[in-house]
Structure 1
């Protein structure tokens, strides 16, 4: 019974850090936050946006990493530019 509740062995928590150009206000941040929270596997409570730094940080528990191209498209669709992308697997 416990095995049905356990996460798959291939699933991993990953932290993502995105540098975004154009973030200027809480309304801008909310648009990006809403799109990121809608991604499959994202821990909704982990989404943090530092407007003054143009930094978006979140965690996701996914089988495979969320690709840079997907996140770039998401940021572009929100009206901003992805400057840099990093992700790391949590230990």
Structure 2
């Protein structure tokens, strides 16, 4: 399994757990799937939890300066952000 695939699988599992999406809905997310403002489960409270879980599950540190609204617009944006953080 490639590092990018691990990040994708981890991120999908994380969203399934944190947002209560279930595995099927998380697996169905595409590059263009909207997150914040599109998924009712993905509200401002969920953002902090998602970031904390990303740090824990991916072994990364996310600074406040790293975070902007664009990251949460689509699944693809969130995935690319996570992959960049993992790669250092």
With the length of structure 2 as denominator, give the TM-score of the two structures: 0.43
Larger radius of gyration: 1
Larger helix proportion of the pair? 2
More RCO (CA 8 Å, sep 6+): 1
- TM-score normalized by the length of structure 1: 0.42
